[in-house]
Amino acid sequence: MQQFNPDSRKYLIIGGICAIIFIYLVQLFYIQVIKDDYKIMADNNAFLKKTLYPSRGMLYDRNGKLLVFNQPAYDLTIVMKEVRPFDTLKFCNIVNISKEYLIKCLEDIKNRRINPGYSPYLPQTILTQLGEKEFGILQEFLYKFPGFYIQSQPVRKYNYPHAAHLLGYMQIVDRQNIFDDNYYSMRDYIGKSGVERSYESVLRGEKGVEVLLRDSHGRIKGKYENGIYDRKPVSGKDLILSIDIELQKYGEELMQNKMGTIVMIEPSTGEILCMVIKPDYDPALFVGRQFRENYTHLLNNPEKPLFNRALSAMYPPGSTFKAAQGLVFLEENIITPQTMFTCYHGFPLGNGRLRCHGHESPLSLSPAIGTSCNSYFCWGIKSMLENKKYGGTGNAINRWHDCMVNLGLGRKLGIDLPGEKGGFIPNAQYYNKKYKNRWNAFTVISIAIGQGEVLTTPVQICNMASQIANRGYFYTPHVVKNIKNGELDTTYTKRHYTGVSRLMYDPVIDGLRLAVTNGTCWGAWIPDIEVCGKTGTAQNPDKDHSIFMGFAPKDNPQVAIAVYVENGGYGSEFAVPIGRLMIEKYLRGGSIAEYSKWFEYNVKNNIPAGRRNAIQED
């Protein structure tokens, strides 16, 4: 029989005691060092850490006119651990909310899925943007609602009811915003669209903190240690935008009662001079307690006033695409400036013809652009796709695709605004899948004139006009000209070359000038200003869209423009006169010349046929 050793019990007891002590030490380390709930609770018994919100950066136009600034607003915060039973009915009447809404707000605050940073010991925002009346009354009775505090936070104020899509708006952060960036807490604001979103990190600044001392009853007694632990907020940086607000305003007036967009770019910099989108909205609608109601109303509007047509709408470019086709054909040695193609009332297509309009025949490139000859570019694309140097139609269409992408079409340009779409330029892979490898030049002939599968955005068409004006390069379009006390991304100061030789641009530009002096763009003619332009008609199930693309002056160009009027019909009906007036407004400055006053009046008051019934019903 094994003899019991008393020493083994001693060692067992000592080991157990050591294990217990070790567990307690680990737990104490976790509570005091890792887990901060008890520290927060202790601190909040003695201190109140009040967030100081920075002033958000202001927005100016290119001429120094203030567009967006800040005004004081008041948020109501709550420290859940300090809340005592209170008169909920009186509280709800003061802040003008329902009891059900208050209950939901309190539940959302405590829900860690909705509010990941929740702590019952830290201030949480419960209501935002209290009005002056609500603030005054609540401040008087705040002592009756323990645990509730008033927090000052600036909100946006707009000097002009224009450029809403470009400027953007602010919205309360969502769960994902809080999860992605610990800068934000529940009911903070964040830029949700436009410049406000793209430059959020530049505009928002840095929060500060004020440490206040409490007495034994939780009452605020003043700053702790005379404020040595306070941290001042750092204001966000101001932005100088590239737009001219007066030009923007004028464009919005010309587009009243219409749907579409105007984009203007300065070719020498890539700066966007205006971005008119209709229908639109007053940006002030998204400030204040009526945000949700106003947003829902605009979201449900069938005309989609929240939709940025300049960046996100993809249309067939129509005949504006012929300028790009000419550049590609020249660079690929498919044609020379003197190459002539016949046009006898259209391009032969099976048993019929792809129609064209009356003009002399045959034509070389410049007059083909000037008269917008469909046949010329159909012959051109056929010649390219059937050219043996590419080793097959598939290789030829891929080369054509790559050339168009280099011209800035069928891809995102990288503009400094959210929501940009890339458009679409088809390639061999697309056609092989669509037609099961059984296709040829005649199958896809509609791409020659900017129809078929080709899709572009208005900003791409304006950028195309800009790179033609520059004779072979462009800058990424952008809406921020300068950041005060900061640096603009070098992406926007770098030239992007198209791969087309400078000499190839001369006959294309001559054709664009001919279109204004003696062709489809005659309505864009301005005395003493050499305007170059091209009309387009984008096919649409309803009435076609009216398009104009151009730049001016011909030499030393200062402005490029693209105009889209939905359901406007031919480009010459609506887009051309609007483009002409916008160019004149920008280059001449001030009010437009007297000889065009009648023209301006008719443009403003003319409504596309496709929209007349809708306007009358409104």
Q: Is the dihedral of CA 79, 82, 85, 87 positive or negative?
A: negative
Three-state SS for 367-413 is: HHHHHCCHHHHHHHHHHHHCCHHHCCHHHHHHHHHHHHHHCCCCCCC
Establish if 328 belongs to a structural domain. no
Query: Distances from the Cα of 178 to the Cαs of 117, 170, 287, 295, 453, in angstroms?
Result: 8, 15, 21, 22, 41
pLDDT score of 611 more than 60: no
Mean pLDDT, residues 167-192 taken together: 87
Q: Is the dihedral of CA 90, 93, 94, 100 positive or negative?
A: positive
pLDDT score of 489 more than 50: yes
Residue of 576, 573, 572, 548 whose CA lies nearest to 562: 548
614 band by pLDDT with thresholds 50, 70 and 90: very low
**Residue 30 in tokens:** 């976790």
pLDDT score of 349 more than 90: no
pTM, full prediction = 0.84
Contact 312, 564 (CB under 8 A): no
Establish if 139 belongs to a structural domain. yes
Establish if 500 belongs to a structural domain. no
State pLDDT tens for residues 116-144.
767 787 778 888 777 777 788 888 888 88
Strand, helix or coil at 497? strand
List the Cα angle 170/174/180 in 5-degree steps: 105
pLDDT score of 617 more than 50: no
> How many domains does the structure of the chain reveal?
1
Establish if 138 belongs to a structural domain. yes
CA distance 616 to 618: 5
Contact 298, 279 (CB under 8 A): no
Mean pLDDT lowest among 227-231, 377-381, 540-544: 540-544
Average model confidence (pLDDT) for the chain? 86
Contact 198, 416 (CB under 8 A): yes
pLDDT score of 57 more than 50: yes
List the Cα angle 262/264/265 in 5-degree steps: 155
pLDDT score of 95 more than 80: yes
Establish if 467 belongs to a structural domain. no
| 81: containing domain | 70-153
State pLDDT tens for residues 223-250.
766 778 888 989 999 999 999 999 999 9
615 band by pLDDT with thresholds 50, 70 and 90: very low
CA distance 75 to 88: 18
Establish if 402 belongs to a structural domain. no
Mean pLDDT, residues 376-395 taken together: 94
Which residues does residue 450 pair with via DSSP β-bridges, in sequence order?
none
| pLDDT number for residue 343 | 84
β pairing state of 239-241 and 480-483: antiparallel
pLDDT score of 562 more than 50: yes
Contact 538, 315 (CB under 8 A): yes
Mean pLDDT lowest among 23-32, 254-263, 267-276: 23-32
Establish if 303 belongs to a structural domain. no
State pLDDT tens for residues 98-114.
888 888 888 888 888 87
Q: Which residues of 225-240 are buried (b: 16+ CB within 10 A; e: fewer)?
A: eeeeebeebebbbbbb
pLDDT score of 510 more than 80: yes
Q: What percent of the chain has pLDDT over 90?
A: 52
CA distance 430 to 400: 13
Establish if 168 belongs to a structural domain. no
| pLDDT number for residue 435 | 93
CA distance 401 to 272: 27
Q: What is the DSSP string of 88-139?
A: HHHHHHHHT--HHHHHHHHHHHH-TTT-TT--TTS-EEEEEEE-HHHHHHHH
List the Cα angle 364/366/372 in 5-degree steps: 95
Contact 604, 574 (CB under 8 A): no
State pLDDT tens for residues 282-305.
999 988 778 888 999 999 999 999
| pLDDT number for residue 18 | 82
Burial class (CB in 10 A: 0-12, 13-18, 19+), 222: exposed
pLDDT score of 148 more than 90: no
| pLDDT number for residue 341 | 92
Q: What percent of the chain has pLDDT over 70?
A: 88
